[in-house]
Amino acid sequence: MIEENGTVLAIEDGIAEVETIRTSSCTSCRARHGCGHHAIAKVSNSNRMLMKAIAPADLEVGQNVVVGIPEDTLLQASVWMYAVPLLGLVLGAALPSMFTEQTIISIVGAVSGFAGGLWAAKWKSSHEAKNPDFYPRVLRINKHQAQIIPVVQEA
């Protein structure tokens, strides 16, 4: 389970809006001086992220919670978003080259295969949109917090 700490900002119809602080392990990484991610993390002034998570019934606004998503769910989503379009690109370029030596046909095949892979990923995403396994869940409420910090919402 991949977990992140956050604060509940709102609850509506069993869905909690949780604010998390994006953490980075860049400071402990040996390759941080040559890494683009470290440079972007240093420049970025917004480490806050809002997410919607399935909430238990006893959750209250302002509570510090742990939000999680299963690793296999994240892995499956990553395969559909990255591997399927890449596989379409490679197959779209390789298959025409087995039958003809014209480069333009391989280029068209690569672009078509990539577009087909993106379409397949979008199709899978639309079919899984209502699947609760693909939504983060509030796993537990942190009981060790000193106090519940009130959340002030602007109207």
Provide the residue-wise pLDDT of the chain in tens; the chain has 155 residues. Answer: 888 888 899 898 888 999 887 665 555 666 666 666 666 666 655 567 888 888 888 888 888 999 988 888 888 888 999 999 999 999 999 999 898 888 999 999 999 999 999 999 999 999 888 888 788 888 888 876 545 555 666 65
Whether residue 102 lies inside any domain: the answer is: yes
CA dist., res. 87 & res. 94, Å (int): 10
Whether residue 97 lies inside any domain: the answer is: yes
Whether residue 153 lies inside any domain: the answer is: no
- Predicted pLDDT at 74: 84
Tens of pLDDT along 70-81? 888 888 888 999
Instruction: Show the domain range for 10.
Output: 2-22+44-141
SS3 letters for the chain?
Answer: CEEEEEEEEEEECCEEEEEEECCCCHHHCCCHHHCHHHHHHHHCCCCEEEEEEECCCCCCCCCEEEEEECHHHHHHHHHHHHHHHHHHHHHHHHHHHHHCCCHHHHHHHHHHHHHHHHHHHHHHHHHCCCCHHHCCEEEEECCCCCCCCCCCCCC
CATH number, domain containing residue 132: 2.40.50.140
Tens of pLDDT along 12-33? 888 899 988 766 555 566 666 6
Whether residue 37 lies inside any domain: the answer is: no
